[in-house]
Structure 1
């Protein structure tokens, strides 16, 4: 169906004539000389005296130019039939800890020791890509929490943002409460039975302004279900670092993470290895989708380029008539007209 996106642009149609009536006529300040044989003089120079043409023929090119510009400004478009959008899944936010402790390489992937954050990227990147029909967003938190990607159907972009996350980009501390608070703020306007937060951390809350249990209470009031994941190898699994007592996994506040999950109707998972984290990903992937309000969109194909191109062509012809009057007169005489 053909329609205009901005039909109000046609209200500007009388603007040139209103300006001509309201503004004073241009005055060069010089005396004018009237010559009775002006037509013959302009004929010898290759010009036609357009003053002898009817007024409507003098104004017609400019009227057409203005009308085509208005037509382009009104944004004509061809609108297709309504098409359904994928909106049957959940609104899922992934909150990932990027504090300094996530740099410890006590996790394994294909027999190679890799940092905790790198393992999260590899496994949960695929998790994000597989969320067809879900709106997915990303929160990165350290000393503060930041919304890296809002809820969107563009899962590939969200995965890209996760892959580009850097250690300490949000500060060296761990603000679990702030991450939950930010998630609640973003999810509270979505349908109540589709709000899900997956929070991944390897430490205890030691930064931010909101206590995790207070934030969890707010999340429960807003019906945001939180799944918490504690990542990091046990001390005895950490090799030399564990033997020296340097394993940051001992800082993991499992009691708080369990309480957050229980209070919001979610579940707590402990990931000590890549295999366990992969199992957790599979468990989360089996969450029951919650129906949302149906969303439909009508594809629109913009057509404003056509009247804009015609207006440009008319402008070029008017310029050519002024710059090359002799050639213009020869051209128009071939078609039996005069400009």
Structure 2
């Protein structure tokens, strides 16, 4: 169905008439002196011919039609009426750049693993509302709860290590998620917190934030990211080290237990993907039935016609100028 978003703009159609310039009457005495021009007594203001005036009006009409935002509305699409509300909190601290993860046979850093697995997780959440929190020195809301999974996935893919600092504010990320859940009703209120360290920044302790979350019926699923064994070469040979010494699993397990959640240990992509099954077990919440109509913008068609009209006017002006110049030379 054809539709116009702002039809009231068509009221501006007679605007050129209101500002139409008036011809300036010649003064009875004196004449205009211009440097370098011997005779400038007669200054003629040429008005456009009839075809040019029509082109001006066509261009103005096309511009107005473009501004009114013509659209083609598709058939109504019913959005899922059942789903979950999931907030993702992703750690962007400096330790997330440790390359101890493997994705498709390649060694990558921890954030790349999260983007790979959680990106697929987001794609599967049809009907769920997703939000994204990024935290390091402090926690920041990157995307509020929305069914626009594509935008959430894009925000996650564009995130970078060190974007919001180098430390780890776990408690602040939980508190921010709780505040966001307070704005919605009839919700599962699930926070999925992914980190590879322990709380060492922020203005609230994780246990205090988790206690508030439990009071507000927010369930926290904590995910500890990082390998347990990493082989490192040195001048003395190959040695095995534990790159996840900073990971406080005891605290993450406690935060999950305080809110009737679950703690996952993600040493690789397979273990991180286990969260799929646990989230799928949650009972979806019924919501009001919403519909969506796809919109295809059509403003560029009248805008293109206006551009063509302006080109024709310009060409006619150039041709007229050349003809006048030629006639003047012949008269001389």
Q: Which whole-Å deviations, capped at 9, do the CAs of 1:91-118 have from their partners, x for residues lacking one?
A: 3222122323444566677898765445
Q: Tell me the matched-pair count.
A: 304
195-204 or 271-280, larger mean C-alpha shift? 271-280
Shift of the 111–297 alpha-carbon distance from structure 1 to 2, 3 Å rule, reads closer
Query: Counting helix residues as a fraction of each chain, which structure ranks higher?
Result: 1
Q: Distance in 2 between matches of 1:114 and 1:214?
A: 34
Q: Distance in 2 between matches of 1:321 and 1:272?
A: 72
Structure 1: segments with no counterpart, 5+ residues? 34-48, 329-339
How big is the alpha-carbon RMSD for the aligned residues of Structure 1 and Structure 2? 4.3
> Aligned with 1:200: secondary structure?
strand
Shift of the 259–69 alpha-carbon distance from structure 1 to 2, 3 Å rule, reads same
Whether the 8 Å CA contact 2:231–2:241 is kept in 1: the answer is no
Q: Distance in 2 between matches of 1:126 and 1:189?
A: 27
TM-score (norm 1): 0.69
Whether the 8 Å CA contact 1:192–1:224 is kept in 2: the answer is no
2:19 match: 19
Matches within 5 A, 1:1-339: 1-20=1-20, 25-26=23-24, 60-86=54-80, 88-104=82-98, 116-153=110-147, 155=149, 158-159=152-153, 161-162=155-156, 165-232=159-226, 247=242, 249=244, 251-271=246-266, 276-324=271-319
Structure 2: segments with no counterpart, 5+ residues? 32-45, 233-238, 324-332
> Aligned with 1:308: secondary structure?
helix
Q: Distance in 1 between matches of 2:107 and 2:66?
A: 60
TM-superposed deviation, 1:176: 0.2
TM-score (norm 2): 0.70
TM-superposed deviation, 1:121: 4.0
TM-superposed deviation, 1:161: 4.9
Query: Counting strand residues as a fraction of each chain, which structure ranks higher?
Result: 2
